[in-house]
Structure 1
């Protein structure tokens, strides 16, 4: 009885923990997105409900209960609404601290609450969350849909056996400051803010920066952000032994192999076709504008190109990423002619 009084919506502690972890990563999400991130098997339940709205309400009901209880505790709030009427959930400052604990991250690495973005409708943060879903590709537990109708079981099996995603939810971080001046906690001018950072060493991906564009930005504005990435990557600091090292490597420790490769970490640009700009034309122009940042130099004696101080730049669309995942040959590396798998596209040598 005391537990029910504390959490009147009846949510479990495990489910509330899942919600905090998800919102700690993505900052803004609908209940539907949180469910797809943390319990993908529920997507294949309640399929006999008569309408899509009824099916979504049924599979997200437990998450809405958890969000209600977390709101009662002052950890979550409704920051706005999507154009289709879904509530945008965000963390309060107290909720951000609770999410840091659940994720095992330092509080100073959590970023902000994204209240302003939610109030504006959150179209860009929601696209970032969809990009995480497309990269992560959460697979349903087939044992949990064993009693569902045949069509639902077959759909779940197709999802479970599709090409895998990259990493785990805890390996993703959003709205990450990349200070060219100042500190991590108080960035100065000239740096960037990454839409998404992924670390998945278990999948041979030590570090990946991701930018998501809703096809509203010009190639010139995107190129200016790549310039800021380059300034951040070049920034050097002294470690405790007095040795100079690049600032980025002090935060993403354990990936010293990247420096032996000589190139900077890769940046993936994901275009979400909601705006008026043609991503194919944007990529053509962006490739030309950023050539000094990505083009390798001729190797000695006609050997392989050298990529010291270069940024591997790769582009795709959210539509292609959803359909094929990271293992699909849908990633265009600037300077190469054919699309590749993501891990091949960011490799220094064409496969």
Structure 2
């Protein structure tokens, strides 16, 4: 019930991934829905994609609401209107939520739909799905599901709106300090409103946005012959390639929002992601085929496909900056040492280079190394010893002569 109260209507397949992701099939979910129907808490509400749609009754909706934290945004109670069509976009959002949950990213208790992000002077942005799970590998993720019914420009505008929302200052923030913090790495976020709404992302940059693309479904004309399996496979491949080209166009058009800024340091290739909007993208077809924990995510600005956690990481961000700055500091020390060695004086006697201690002593005296100083000291000591010996011998001889004269007298 908790999963169903978030999305209003869903089939057993979407609810399977949300409520019982560990099950091998959706049979247990369908059985649970039948039990809820017998208890008067759920009822069928039409069909979608060959599967039965379900929604909660007023009794089930009220009971499910009590299981959720206060303030959780709930869907409205679905009135009995069998003639009303179903919202395929809502089903795709529920399917995306199910794939994230099954991959270990969030749960029905950490998911919210249609969350408002107001921006002064612009139309508020409602995120299709928001994952908010503090302390998890992916603590926050804003999800936009596109059914191929918006232009590339509209998708780019969505990313610009998210960027503008992330740049909003927190209530009472000092504008001067906030402006100065733009050049202080992570300190920039201490002044931003988004930090009061979402938990820390665990990475540099704003809260990440995920784009999930779905090929638009066109209603077949009456009398149209169904596609053969081969034709369906060919169409699916064409749709997939078209969506990938669409991703390329959105990536190119939104580079101003997701691109890291260059650092003004020589020899640094790391990017400053603190003012960038991390954008990852995939297709619902890839999620269906491989799951959200597989390498099905593309990070705007990078090549290849990655896992979600890998795509959100910034290996060329602060960690690389620290490595490059340590390397630059080591190179600077080596260069300074080489320059010092090149200017190191030599002993004026033996021409050996002076040690640091000898160099310091030499600043107030002669440029002589310790060995030559020791040799000079030994030579002088030997000279003094020889002189002392001569003096002693002379005194001894004088004393002997004086003693002999007295004896003769």
- Per the normalisation by structure 2, the TM-score is 0.59
> Gaps (5+ residues) in structure 1?
1-18, 46-55, 138-163, 182-187
Structure 2 counterpart of 1:122: 87
Structure 1 counterpart of 2:76: 113
Change (3 A) 1:228 1:300: same
Task: Work out which of the residue numbers 108, 111, 116 in structure 2 matches 1:177.
Answer: 116
Change (3 A) 1:250 1:131: same
Give the structure, 1 or 2, with the largest relative contact order (CA under 8 Å, sep 6 or more). 1
Task: Work out which of the residue numbers 55, 65, 76 in structure 1 matches 2:35.
Answer: 65
Task: Work out which of the residue numbers 298, 301, 311 in structure 1 matches 2:277.
Answer: 311
Structure 2 counterpart of 1:132: 97
Deviation at 1:292, TM superposition (A): 0.7
Change (3 A) 1:178 1:42: same
TM-superposition CA deviations, 1:106-161 (whole Å, max 9, x none): 1xx41542859994412011111111121221xxxxxxxxxxxxxxxxxxxxxxxx
Change (3 A) 1:327 1:350: farther
Task: Work out which of the residue numbers 246, 249, 265 in structure 1 matches 2:207.
Answer: 265
Change (3 A) 1:67 1:280: same
Structure 1 counterpart of 2:7: 26
Larger-gyration structure (1/2) = 2
Task: Work out which of the residue numbers 136, 139, 143 in structure 2 matches 1:210.
Answer: 143
Deviation at 1:267, TM superposition (A): 0.6
Change (3 A) 1:257 1:177: closer
**1:228 partnered with 2:161:** yes
Kept in 2, the 8 Å contact 1:295–1:335? The answer is yes
Structure 1 counterpart of 2:297: 331
Distance 1:90 1:222 in 2: 33
Distance 1:85 1:320 in 2: 21
> Gaps (5+ residues) in structure 2?
179-189, 219-238, 318-409
Task: Work out which of the residue numbers 260, 264, 288 in structure 2 matches 1:300.
Answer: 264
Change (3 A) 1:179 1:79: farther
Distance 1:83 1:257 in 2: 36
Secondary structure at the counterpart of residue 300 of structure 1: coil
Deviation at 1:66, TM superposition (A): 0.7
Aligned-residue Cα RMSD (Å) equals: 3.5
Kept in 2, the 8 Å contact 1:326–1:342? The answer is yes
Deviation at 1:266, TM superposition (A): 0.7
Distance 2:191 2:45 in 1: 40
Kept in 1, the 8 Å contact 2:130–2:140? The answer is yes
Structure 1 counterpart of 2:192: 246
TM-superposition CA deviations, 1:1-27 (whole Å, max 9, x none): xxxxxxxxxxxxxxxxxx1x1123333
TM-superposition CA deviations, 1:152-175 (whole Å, max 9, x none): xxxxxxxxxxxx432333122222
Structure 2 counterpart of 1:11: none
**1:89 partnered with 2:52:** no
Change (3 A) 1:40 1:231: closer
Distance 2:5 2:11 in 1: 13
Work out the number of aligned pairs and report it: 278
- Per the normalisation by structure 1, the TM-score is 0.67
